[in-house]
Structure formats: structure tokens, C-alpha cells
Homo-oligomer: A and B are copies of this chain.
Amino acid sequence: MTKSGGATRTDGIHQALRADILAGRLSPGGRLKFPDLADRYKVSVGATREALTRLVAEGLVVARPRLGYLVRPLSQRDLAELTQARVEIESLVLGLSVREGDTRWEADAVAAHHLLERTPYRDPADPDHLADEWSQAHAAFHHALLAGCGNQRLLDAARSLRQEAELYRQWSVSIGNEPGRDVAAEHRALLDAVLARDAVHAQELLRDHIAHTARLLISCAPEQPDQAG
């Protein structure tokens, strides 16, 4: 009964690996060698393999048959594509959510926003990176906004794209925030529009919210990032 519910060993390395990638501890474009990983996470090659297979499905890792796995590389072109996909899909789902969500959903959204508001943006111990708690609260807030639609497949599609964007977000914090931007205010406005059941306005705000970071990254970083992890 050491592992209650359904937690297998592969789940362990899977989550650890995902956390390390999203936190920037494994740099985009970097190779993921089985000997290194198996040693780092104290599991066998087989377990590592399955974890990587899952991460490929999530879009965080790319596989080249017989040539190994690597952390998904970042590029402006890819960011542009990802941003378009997010704008289209997240605003679609938000529209459904605002129209179909019930009171319980409203309450969850308010709660998630409250939590996000009180969570520090940067890690006090490591100001170059986002605080893990903030990333988590941020993801939870956006998920809560969309959850009203009640369609698991649509929610999964949106979550998958948002997770990929997390890779870029991590990069954005190191080049500093846009002067005059107030992310907290954007979240507040988004919540207000949602609670007012103003789907069109909420979609507009969400579009801007998503496109904002993307624009910042594209303008500030004309070249590929190349940091060693």
C-alpha cells in the first residue's frame, strides 16, 4: 500500500521530467540521452523511454527515430503558430464556457483568481525564473475560466496548447516584462467580463492576453535562445 491509487514508477519520472523542462532546467533544443536521464532520475532505461514517449505526445519533446530525443526547440515561427492556435481555440472554448457555465463554475473561477492574486510572480530564491506556485496558480485560473464548457476534449486541447506556451513563458521572464504591462489587471478584467457573462468582451480580452506575451517575445528576441542547462 506504499503507492495508493494509481501511481506507477513511470509517472514519477514523467512528472519530474516535465517539471524540469517547463522550469527551464533542461534547455530547449537540448538532447535527452538515456544514460544521463536514467542516472539523473535513478530509474532504468525502459522507464525513461516510456516517460519520453508521453512527453512527445504532449508536445514538450520531439523524437527522431534512432537519433534520440530532444526538448522541443523554440523558434519565432513556432511561437507564431502556437499563438494563433491558442488564440483561436482558447477563445472558442471561453465563449462556450461563458454561455454554458453554471454557478458552481463561477465560484471556482473566483476562487482560482483569488489564489492567483495572492501568489508571488517570481521565486524569491531564484528571481531569474517564475515561481512554480505562480505557474501552477496561473494554469489553474485559466483552466477554471474554460471549465464551464464541460467538454473534456475541448478542455484538453486548450490545456495542451497552454502547456506548450509555458516553455516560452519561462523564457519571457528572463528578458524582463513589458514596461507598463499589468498582468494582474488583465486577469482581473478577464474575470469580470466572464462573471458578467459578456462572452464577446471576454474573448477579446483573452486574445489580447495571449497575444501580448507573444508579441513581446518576438520583438525582444530576434535570435534563438541558446542557454546551457
20 CB contacts below 8 A, A to B, read: A5-B65, A7-B65, A8-B65, A8-B66, A11-B65, A46-B46, A49-B50, A50-B50, A53-B54, A53-B57, A54-B57, A81-B152, A81-B153, A82-B153, A84-B151, A85-B151, A85-B157, A89-B92, A89-B154, A89-B157
Number of copies: 2
Q: A11-B65, A53-B53, A54-B53 are in contact. Are A154 and B85 (CB under 8 A)?
A: yes
Q: Tell me the complex Cα distance, A66–B3, Å.
A: 11
Which positions 69-101 of chain A face chain B at CB distance < 8 Å? 81-82, 84-85, 88-89, 92, 96
Smallest Cβ distance from A146 to chain B, in angstroms?
A: 13
List residues of chain B with CB within 8 A of the CB of A193: none
With A11-B65, A84-B154, A89-B157 given, can you name 13 additional A-B contacts, CB distance below 8 Å?
A: A6-B64, A7-B65, A50-B53, A53-B53, A53-B54, A53-B57, A57-B58, A81-B151, A82-B153, A84-B151, A85-B154, A89-B89, A157-B157
Interface size on A, residues (CB 8 A): 31
